[in-house]
Chain A
């Protein structure tokens, strides 16, 4: 098992490095950095200033050299500065804290709900519960993320707050500007700000996972070894929990892992709607303002996160399924 983990880890490293190179090419070719562009487009362009900017972005050097320069610094943890000369690394760190908070909580909740709904749907196939949860899944699955977010903002917050008489659910930001002092009040503040964005992500994700769990569970229940367990005289409860469930979870792990990118994408949008200062804001700024260092750093941090997450998923997979621990 340990060997398995180490091996997956060793594969991940070159993957990240190669992808950093491809990403670099992509970023470099997506446009000119904004300050430079601005300088060039001025009514009376100042050649000296333009030259300075070009040097600053190493545009006099070939692509590979530029990549190498970036890589060297990145290996030491220095991701450079953005167009406004602020350190990229620090901004990303702050952004990550905010975004991960949202994503991790949402994923955990979504997976738990999906497992319960999926398994129950499979066991009570064609029941009212099954049909209604299937329909609900399809519905949430088909909603654009931000549309749902705005909807929740309208109904979840404004009307809810009106209903209960005071503002608990917030729609702006990830925490209040002035945090209350007591621990519990502070927790309440975080929670109140997190409810709606989290709910948005949960609703979209759980739909997909529960469909999959249901399908996987149905297939497992039809497997030969489930028949064997029944033939041994096991009660239905035992057959479901000890034999079917664990096998059914195996493909679900794959789906969750593959879907992580989509969850991150959804988080970006949700952050934008609820105005959280997380990775989403940074990305939009970096992309619309052609900030190569910021975007490069952003993409690499995300890539590493995705790879780490996939590694965790692989480990879970191997823990569930002894066949792949070879």
Chain B
């Protein structure tokens, strides 16, 4: 399988995911949402999982907490501190949720119960797992947590309802609720996507702060490369249900070896560009996960595609550094400082872009 696993010290890994596969049965056929994800998470590490909608990043994380609907079939292995999580008894799952592995969801407005006060919802997280805790003690701790995430007048605000908070404050409350039981692993599923840009930075900062305070590991799921760049130690890029590139954040950003990653980076506008650089959007759309043909799923959109790419789906293979792997037969062609512009021939002026893209539709 992947070579990098041999390099990392498995004994220290707090979470080990091995060949995780998730299938859903639908009317149109079986959807292979996750097709073999493998990684290890170290204590105190921030792992960024990047991908577009449908890449399987959210589904694979929900599988960690057993939050998938009953129609999902989960296979493979998920080991938390050595003990297997797939197929465990419901009661053990309930005990683990929130205390060992916890999750911050994307949309804080719909993720908080509208009829209960914020303080109560946080306190509830405590009292579920600590029977002996008194109501007052739980409430006090909840207020402490709200203060920690930067909510002013915490004691008063704890009595508010979610709709009385702004988006950013709700997400802070969400973070407080997630961290209150001091989980070892925090999964942040697109924590900033539903928020304004100015608030995004604040939330990320809080996330960083609580991570350090509680010494947790973080799995940060997002489609926003900017978010990942600021916080992650390692990055896993997913496409069509599988990881297609894996490495440290520096490796990924400075030396991407999978054309998809390169394309992603190239399609971002950057503040430090001199204005003459062109954006290189990736044409086409991700494939359907029901009827995947053999070969690399990125092939139809890939400028480097060769006949081999049609037949054989590439595995994650080590590049020049064994910790940096890419699933591409021709990753070596991206060695050195290759710009997206050079590979993706589709570079165009904005005004020409729209009719060009329209042709594709």
Which residues of A are interface residues toward B (Cβ below 8 A)? 223-225, 227-236, 238, 242-243, 246-247, 320-323
Contact = CB atoms under 8 A, between A and B. Distances in A.
A233 B102 CA distance: 9
A322 B164 CA distance: 10
Contacts of A231: 65, 67, 97-98, 102-103, 105
B351 interface: no
Nearest to B122: A232
Contact of A322 (B90, B95, B161): B161
Given A233-B97, A234-B128, A238-B128, A228 B161 contact: no
Contact of B110 (A224, A242, A246): A224
Nearest to A224: B110
B97 A228 contact: no
A232 B90 CA distance: 13
B108 to A, nearest CB: 9
B67 A230 contact: yes
B75 interface: no
Contacts of A320: 115
B140 interface: no
A230 B97 CA distance: 8
Contact of B111 (A228, A238, A247): A228
Interface string B82-115: 0000000010001111110011010100111111
Given A224-B105, A227-B111, A231-B102, 6 more contacts: A232-B177, A233-B128, A235-B94, A235-B128, A247-B113, A322-B114
B149 interface: no
A231 B110 CA distance: 14
A322 B115 contact: yes
The residue among A229, A231, A323 with the most chain B CB atoms within 10 A of its own CB is A231
The residue among A225, A233, A238, A323 with the most chain B CB atoms within 10 A of its own CB is A233
Contacts of A323: 114, 161, 163
Nearest to B101: A231
Contacts of A229: 113
A233 B110 contact: no
B125 interface: yes
Given A231-B97, A323-B161, A247 B105 contact: no
21 contacts: A225-B110, A225-B114, A229-B113, A231-B65, A231-B97, A231-B98, A232-B102, A233-B94, A233-B97, A233-B99, A233-B129, A234-B124, A234-B128, A235-B94, A242-B116, A243-B116, A246-B115, A247-B113, A322-B161, A322-B163, A323-B163
Nearest to A244: B113
A304 B94 CA distance: 51
B97 A225 contact: no
Contact of B114 (A232, A234, A235, A247): A247
Given A231-B65, A233-B128, A224 B111 contact: yes
Contacts of B95: 233
Contacts of B90: 236
B110 A232 contact: no
Nearest to A247: B115
A243 B90 CA distance: 19
Interface in B110-154: 110-116, 124-125, 128-129
Contacts of B65: 231
A231 B67 CA distance: 7
Interface in B318-345: none
Contacts of A238: 128
Contacts of A236: 90
A233 B112 CA distance: 15
B80 to A, nearest CB: 14
A238 B128 CA distance: 9
Nearest to B115: A246
B110 A223 contact: yes
A8 B66 CA distance: 45
B78 to A, nearest CB: 16
A246 to B, nearest CB: 5
A30 to B, nearest CB: 46
Nearest to A229: B113
Contacts of B107: 224
Contacts of B177: 232
A192 B86 CA distance: 59
A323 B117 CA distance: 11
A322 B161 CA distance: 8
Given A322-B161, A323-B161, A323-B163, A234 B94 contact: yes
A227 B114 contact: no
Contact of A243 (B97, B98, B113): B113
B142 to A, nearest CB: 13
Given A227-B105, A322-B161, A323-B163, A232 B125 contact: yes
B98 A233 contact: yes
A5 B177 CA distance: 34
A232 B115 contact: no
A232 B113 contact: no
B361 to A, nearest CB: 32
A240 to B, nearest CB: 13
A326 to B, nearest CB: 9
Nearest to A243: B113
Contacts of A223: 110
Contacts of B163: 322-323
A235 B129 CA distance: 11
Nearest to B107: A224
Nearest to B187: A231
B67 A225 contact: no
Contact of A228 (B96, B112, B128, B129): B112
A234 B107 CA distance: 20
Contacts of B161: 322-323
Chain A to chain B: the 9 pairs with minimum beta-carbon distance, closest first: A233-B97, A233-B98, A224-B110, A225-B113, A224-B111, A232-B98, A228-B111, A232-B125, A322-B161
